[in-house]
Amino acid sequence: MNTDSTVLKHSTLQRKSIDVAAVRKQFPVLTREVKGHPLVYFDNAATTQKPAEVIHGLINYYSHTNANIHRGIHTLAEEATAAYEATRHLVMHFLNASSIEEIVFTRGVTESVNLVAYSWGRQQIKEGDEIIISTMEHHSNIVPWQILCEEKGAVLKVIPINDAGELLLEEYEKLLSSNTRLVSIVHVSNALGTVNPVKQIIEKAHKHGALVLVDGAQSAAHIPIDVQDLDADFFTFSGHKIYGPTGIGVLYGKKAILESMPPFQGGGEMIREVRFEKTTYNDLPYKFEAGTPNIADTVALRDAIHFIEHYGKENIAAWEDELLLYATEKLQAIPGLKIIGEAREKISLVSFVIDGIHPQDIGIMLDNRGIAVRTGHHCTQPLMNRFGIPGTIRASFAIYNTKEEIDSMIVALENAIRKLS
Amino acid sequence: MTEKTIEIIEEEIIEEFSLFDSWDDKYEYIIDLGKKLPVLPSVHKIDENRVRGCQSTVWLVAERKADRVYYQADSDSVIVKGLISMLIRVLSGQRADDIIEAKLGFIQAIGMTTHLAQTRSNGLVAMVKQMKSYAMAFKLMDKSSG
């Protein structure tokens, strides 16, 4: 286990320490009890809890503004449109994209990947073309490409990993060729916490003329994202994993690429002119936003990004790294416990298994003490097969978690192991 | 052969669980039942006997003696084994018709509804369904032969 490098990296920055007690007060759900115990929420990689400003953002929108956007002439429609588009501007800055035309709202990462597979993929991929993914992809970054490859007679290639859960970059280079059309890669593994060197991966792919899609579901809340510096062709994240509402996500795409792509879904909003003979499509990004969009959640996503920017990702990451290091040390001291995923670069997530005990049983026993962790294959079955395990127990930390909560988990875990053994 | 009806056994289980104050205690009891569940011979641990759940694996076999249905089961999760153990205690050795009709209200009464919710967390729902399907199959076989 080596988390020292990440801790060192953050501590060298001029950073503000976070007042976690004050942060916790902003999250209403953290005051509740579960089965007679204070809630300890360690399932942040699945979804984060929401601060009051995001919840109020939703209430406020429906209480004062609610209207359909873009075409209405009345005041509410104008205000709703302004609020919706204000989020797009903020997302553009959040990702350091170069224009708002590059920011497409989707339901989340899954829909974003499917959009690219359906629109770009069906237009561009032909028989014999190759798409590269990795062993540690979430099913949402596997299945859309399998469907596309089956349809087109294209080939899906997979970057292997080492036992620590890191990509084998030399193997990746061997997979690249003039047949490679796309590399679709997870920025941070949801099951292992591994941070992949996406900038390097993108650079190598571009040398072979391939595009790169980065799945930022697990990175967007923890790592500063600069799509221009990364030179990513596509980057996607989900709002609900960055303290925002469910059902809203973002697909960033380079303007020239998005312009060349056909629409994903047809309907209202995405058209310029509809005639029975021929329909012309709207400009970017609206070409990809058919139908009434998820306005309220988009508006509240702005509050979530404000929340993150108020504290600063570097400061949040520094606190989360401290939690990761603390949890890792405590967990490693438990006999029979093995950490799965020991990459040098990790976000604040720890996956583990315990000799002779089913992960689900541990999850149930922790829930009895009010502790929410995730157990199972984390929608990464090929990755679990790589490690020869059916699943893991995963604790993932966010800005509002504390070392005391980790202590509670360790006590509950030791109790569970004692009873289940 | 059991002479107790499904409802009577359910009542007994509810009574036993009323003694526990905490979730930890309830689960300690379930874990204990799981550990005591007779081992299912490995010949039965085949794909055809697998009840698909999302996280844990459950194997279930059924046989009929006279007008009664008997079950054996196993799982890789000791808590699921404990839950199975209770289902077997309630349903194994009962008449097919009674099994098909069983409401199994005890699951809710002892606070185990989370295991019946659509969490995909274990195969309990699937297992109850599978146990009833076996009973239904035996009943249909009777009809076609009688």
pLDDT per residue over B40-82, tens digit each? 999 999 999 988 765 688 899 999 998 899 999 999 899 989 9
Residue from A319, A317, A339 nearest A328 by CA: A339
CB pairs under 8 A between A and B: 51
On whether both A263 and A399 belong to a single domain, the answer is no
Q: Is A246 exposed, middle or buried (0-12, 13-18, 19+ CB in 10 A)?
A: middle
Kindly list the structural domains of chain B, giving each domain's residue range(s) and its CATH number in brackets, ordered by start: 6-141 (3.90.1010.10)
On average, the pLDDT of chain B sits at: 88
Which phi and psi (to 5°) does residue A340 adopt?
-105, 115
Rounded CA gap, B118 and B84, in Å? 18
State yes or no: pLDDT of A411 exceeds 80. yes
Q: What is the pLDDT of residue A10?
A: 46
State yes or no: pLDDT of A87 exceeds 80. yes
Q: Which two tokens stand for residue B6?
A: 């499904």
Query: What is the average per-residue pLDDT within B87-100?
Result: 96
Q: What is the pLDDT of residue A245?
A: 98
On whether both A266 and A144 belong to a single domain, the answer is yes
Out of A36, A360, A368, closest to residue B77 by CB: A360
Other CB atoms within 10 A of residue A155 CB: 14
Inter-residue contact A142 to A382 (CB < 8 Å): yes
Q: What is the pLDDT of residue A11?
A: 47
On whether both A300 and A268 belong to a single domain, the answer is yes
Q: Which of B8, B46, B54, B117 is catalytic?
A: B54
Residue to test with chain B: of A34, A43, A357, A360, most B Cβ within 10 A: A360
Partner B, chain A 54-93, Cβ-Cβ below 8 Å: none
| Domain end among A251, A282, A309 | A309
How close, in Å, is residue B110 to chain A by CA atoms?
Answer: 14
Residue from A368, A370, A363 nearest A33 by CA: A370
Out of A358, A364, A368, closest to residue B76 by CB: A358
Partner A, chain B 22-81, Cβ-Cβ below 8 Å: 22-24, 27-28, 31, 54-57, 76-80
Residue A373, classed as helix, strand or coil, is coil
Residue from A346, A96, A93, A94 nearest A230 by CA: A96
Q: Say which range, A148-162, B9-23, B115-129, B132-146, has the weakest mean pLDDT.
A: B115-129
Rounded CA gap, B89 and B70, in Å? 10
Residue A374, classed as helix, strand or coil, is strand
On whether both A230 and A272 belong to a single domain, the answer is yes
Q: What is the pLDDT of residue A3?
A: 44
Partners of B28 on chain A (C-beta within 8 Å) are: 419
On average, the pLDDT of chain A sits at: 95
Parent domain of A213: 55-309
Is B54 an active-site residue?
A: yes
Rounded CA gap, A382 and A200, in Å? 24
| Domain end among A280, A309, A338 | A309
Give CA torsion, residues A72, A272, A116, A228, to 10 deg. -80
Q: What is the pLDDT of residue A89?
A: 98
Partner A, chain B 85-124, Cβ-Cβ below 8 Å: 121-122
Query: What is the average per-residue pLDDT within A240-269?
Result: 95
Partners of A368 on chain B (C-beta within 8 Å) are: 22-24, 27
| A207 and B CB contact within 8 Å | no
- Contact state of B54 with A376 under an 8 Å Cβ cutoff: yes
Chain segment A282-296, per-residue pLDDT in tens: 899 999 999 999 999
Chain segment B28-45, per-residue pLDDT in tens: 999 999 999 999 999 999
**What is the CA A315 to chain-centroid distance, rounded?**
19
- Domains: count for chain A: 2
Per the document, the length of chain A is 421
On whether both A212 and A323 belong to a single domain, the answer is no
On whether both A290 and A325 belong to a single domain, the answer is no
Q: Is B41 exposed, middle or buried (0-12, 13-18, 19+ CB in 10 A)?
A: exposed
On whether both A164 and A268 belong to a single domain, the answer is yes
State yes or no: pLDDT of B119 exceeds 80. no
| Domain end among A258, A276, A309 | A309
Q: Could you tell me which chain A residue has the CA closest to the CA of B24?
A: A368
| B21 and A CB contact within 8 Å | no
The 3-class secondary structure across chain B, one letter per residue, is CCCCCHHHHHHHHHHHHCCCCCHHHHHHHHHHHHHHCCCCCHHHCCHHHEECCCCCCEEEEEEEECCEEEEEEEECCHHHHHHHHHHHHHHCCEEHHHHHHCCCCHHHHCCCHHHCCCCCCCCHHHHHHHHHHHHHHHHHHHHHHC
- Contact state of A363 with B31 under an 8 Å Cβ cutoff: no
Query: What is the average per-residue pLDDT within A389-413?
Result: 97
Per-residue confidence band for A70, with pLDDT thresholds at 50, 70 and 90:
confident
How close, in Å, is residue A407 to chain B by CA atoms?
Answer: 18
Out of A368, A376, A420, closest to residue B78 by CB: A420
Residue A242, classed as helix, strand or coil, is helix
Please name the helix (run of DSSP H) or strand (run of DSSP E) that holds residue A235, with its range, or none: strand A234-238
Chain segment A100-155, per-residue pLDDT in tens: 999 999 999 999 999 999 999 999 999 999 999 999 999 999 999 999 999 999 99
Residue A419, classed as helix, strand or coil, is helix
Chain segment A200-224, per-residue pLDDT in tens: 999 999 999 999 999 999 999 999 9
Look up the CATH number of the domain holding residue A316.
3.90.1150.10
Partners of B53 on chain A (C-beta within 8 Å) are: none
On whether both A195 and A241 belong to a single domain, the answer is yes
- Contact state of A365 with B27 under an 8 Å Cβ cutoff: yes
Q: Say which range, A136-145, B88-97, B134-143, has the weakest mean pLDDT.
A: B134-143
**Region of residue A370 (phi > 0: left; psi between -120 and 50: alpha; otherwise: beta):** left
Q: Say which range, A8-12, A141-145, B107-111, has the weakest mean pLDDT.
A: A8-12
State yes or no: pLDDT of A12 exceeds 70. no
Partners of B117 on chain A (C-beta within 8 Å) are: none
| B82 and A CB contact within 8 Å | no
Please name the helix (run of DSSP H) or strand (run of DSSP E) that holds residue A321, with its range, or none: helix A313-332
| A391 and B CB contact within 8 Å | yes
Query: What is the average per-residue pLDDT within A304-309?
Result: 98
Per-residue confidence band for A16, with pLDDT thresholds at 50, 70 and 90:
confident
On whether both A135 and A108 belong to a single domain, the answer is yes
State yes or no: pLDDT of A43 exceeds 80. yes
Out of B54, B57, B79, closest to residue A364 by CB: B79
If one compares A6 and A247, the residue with the highest pLDDT of the two is A247
On whether both A265 and A341 belong to a single domain, the answer is no
Q: What is the pLDDT of residue B111?
A: 85
Residue from B44, B55, B113 nearest A379 by CA: B55
Partners of B56 on chain A (C-beta within 8 Å) are: 358, 360
Partners of B23 on chain A (C-beta within 8 Å) are: 35-36, 368
Q: What is the pLDDT of residue A5?
A: 46
Rounded CA gap, A122 and A89, in Å? 30
Other CB atoms within 10 A of residue A168 CB: 14
Q: Which two tokens stand for residue A79?
A: 């205000």
**What is the CA A319 to chain-centroid distance, rounded?**
19
Residue to test with chain A: of B21, B24, B113, B114, most A Cβ within 10 A: B24
Per-residue confidence band for A391, with pLDDT thresholds at 50, 70 and 90:
very high
On whether both A170 and A243 belong to a single domain, the answer is yes
Look up the CATH number of the domain holding residue A188.
3.40.640.10
Q: Say which range, A71-75, A132-136, A193-197, has the weakest mean pLDDT.
A: A71-75
- Contact state of B55 with A369 under an 8 Å Cβ cutoff: no
- Contact state of B23 with A36 under an 8 Å Cβ cutoff: yes
Q: What is the pLDDT of residue A1?
A: 43
Other CB atoms within 10 A of residue A52 CB: 14
Which phi and psi (to 5°) does residue A326 adopt?
-60, -50
Chain segment A326-374, per-residue pLDDT in tens: 999 999 999 999 999 999 999 999 999 999 999 999 999 999 999 999 9
Rounded CA gap, A18 and A285, in Å? 36
On whether both A105 and A222 belong to a single domain, the answer is yes
Q: Which two tokens stand for residue A209?
A: 């003329």
Catalytic residue list of A: 379
